[in-house]
Every structure is written in C-alpha cells, then in structure tokens.
C-alpha cells in the first residue's frame, strides 16, 4: 500500500480508509496481535503457515473491498528474535534501535544542515530545531552513541553563537 508522504492529512486519510481493514483483521480474522500505523501494519503469530494464509486473505480483502494491494517488497515473515522493522525503528524484546537507513539519512541531513548553517543560509534556531527533532527520534531507541554524537553537534553549534 502507499499514501503521499509529508502530507498532513495522509495519516487521517489512512485511518479513515483503512478502518475497514482493521475491522476485517480484528473482527473477522480475529487476529489478536495486530498493529497498524498509517499504511504499515504488523501481525504477530507463532505459526508461519497461519501468517502465510493471512497474506492471501488480507490481499484478497484489500483488492476486492478497498482497491489496494500489499507491496511485495515490504511483505516479510520472520522470527521476533530478528526484530520487527516498523516505522523507522527495529523493535526487539528488550531494546529498540533506529533503522540503519534512518540513521544514515539522519547523519547526512545533520551534516547538510550544519553546512548550510555555516554558510548563513539558515539561522541557529532552525539548526537547533533539526537537532532537537533528531534527539526526539533517538529518545525512543537504545542508541546512546548516536544520540551522544547529535548532542555533541548541538553543543558545538551553541559554541558558535
């Protein structure tokens, strides 16, 4: 599935449009461990065959009722010990990590933001807002080293004032 990114109404539209999917999975399929955020969802089960049968049922429902389909590259069945890749994080039983791709994008954007700050194209407030945003993302994960690097960048920025 897919919705426009960056659009403030995307989350609302996804919730309204996919409410039928929620009902189908929870009421008709009676899946107890189901979670959806916008157009991403996970279903937990100990039975791989059961999950494979759900794929068929959910795909059929989406095509017939909502004119949507599951994205074949985003359809993954794996063990919980491998972590659940969901909404920018990889979730494990006892800890949470920021997805590698998210970390790479974060480092690149912070470096770019610092460079345009040094060029005078953005002010210190804008740079601070970006740094604080990334610290917020990291606060939900066990990423002490990366979080410390962002905090160090924040400290360096404050020394430039």
Q: Are residues 145 and 100 in the same domain?
A: yes
d(CA 67, CA 149): 45
Domain around 126:
95-158
- Per-residue pLDDT for the chain (161 aa), expressed as one digit of tens each? 555 555 668 788 888 999 999 999 999 999 999 999 988 999 999 999 999 999 999 999 999 999 999 998 889 999 989 999 998 899 998 999 999 999 899 889 988 988 898 899 999 889 888 888 888 888 889 887 777 777 776 665 565 55
Say how many domains are in the chain.
2
For residue 37, the cross-strand partners are 40
72 and 100 share one domain: no
pTM: 0.73
The enclosing H or E element of 17 equals helix 10-17
Domain boundary among 77, 103, 125: 77
Instruction: Output the pLDDT for position 89.
Output: 93
- Confirm whether 54 is domain-assigned: yes
């Amino acid at each position: 599935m897919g919705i426009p990114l960056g659009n403030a109404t995307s989350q609302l539209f996804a919730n309204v449009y996919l409410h039928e999917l929620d009902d189908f999975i929870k009421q008709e399929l009676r899946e107890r461990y189901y979670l959806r955020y916008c157009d991403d969802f996970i279903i937990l089960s100990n039975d791989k065959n059961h999950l494979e049968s759900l794929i068929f049922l959910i795909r059929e429902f989406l095509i017939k009722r909502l004119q949507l389909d599951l994205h074949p590259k985003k359809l993954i069945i794996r063990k919980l010990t491998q972590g659940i890749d969901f909404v920018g994080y990889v979730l494990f039983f006892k800890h949470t990590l920021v997805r590698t791709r998210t970390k790479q994008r974060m480092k690149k954007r912070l470096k770019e933001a610092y460079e345009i700050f040094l060029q005078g194209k953005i002010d210190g407030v804008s740079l601070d807002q970006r740094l604080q945003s990334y610290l917020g993302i990291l606060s939900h994960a066990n990423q002490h080293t990366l979080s410390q690097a962002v905090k160090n960048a924040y400290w360096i920025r404050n020394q430039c004032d």
